[in-house]
Amino acid sequence: MDKIYSSLSWGATEVAHTHKIASDLALNIKPGVVIYLLGDLGAGKTTFVRGFLQALGYKGKVKSPTYTLVEPYDMPDYTVNHFDLYRIEDFRELAQIGLDEYFTEQSICLVEWPDKGQPVLPGADLTCYIDKIDAQDARIIRIDALSARGETVLSRL
């Protein structure tokens, strides 16, 4: 078990709440941070990334890069790399795309289905769990800091 430095959780009863939490995170993030997104299919991981990117000024479509594994978004100060590893069958597929190019001090990485990327995927500074608590729109969102760097970000929220 990784050490948890600190933790925050929220109830999000609609998409707008999830976007607000993602937006607060985006506005307090620092380049170099790695965020794992955890939760079932349809929990809201991609929705969270959409809120994150929109807060940084991105106006285009945000689609999960299920087949390409990663979609980079160039922002003025850094690149946001959105990974979706759901379709990976062998972690070597991920090693092949050249992870060193994506996990840099000038980028922020958000990773859906990080378990599929082990053992080559770099570790997370923050893990964001999204739980569907009923059949409707309510979610519980919890963010844990797993590094000092992650803790610094979380302390600003």
Q: Does 82 bind ligand ADP (CB under 6 A)?
A: no
* Residue 107 C-beta: closest distance to ligand ADP, Å: 20
Helices (H) and strands (E) in the chain, counts: 4, 7
* Residue 68 C-beta: closest distance to ligand ADP, Å: 15
Check if the beta carbon of residue 81 is closer than 8 Å to that of residue 56.
no
Residue nearest to ligand ADP as judged by C-beta position: 44
* Residue 15 C-beta: closest distance to ligand ADP, Å: 5
Q: Which of 24, 131, 137, 151 binds ligand ADP (CB under 6 A)?
A: 137
Task: Lay out the site mask for ligand ADP across 60-79 (x = CB under 6 A, - = otherwise).
Answer: ----x---------------
Q: Does 127 bind ligand ADP (CB under 6 A)?
A: no
Q: Which long-range contacts (CB under 8 A, 24 or more apart) does 69-78 make?
A: 69/93, 69/94, 69/97, 70/97, 70/102, 72/102, 72/107, 77/31, 78/31, 78/106, 78/107, 78/108
From the list Mg ion, ligand ADP, none, partner contacted by residue 44 (C-beta under 5 to 8 A by kind)? ligand ADP
Residues 6+ positions from 135 with CB-CB distance below 8 Å: none
DSSP state at residue 122: P
Q: Which residues bind ligand ADP (CB under 6 A)?
A: 12, 14-15, 17-18, 39, 41-47, 64, 112, 137, 139
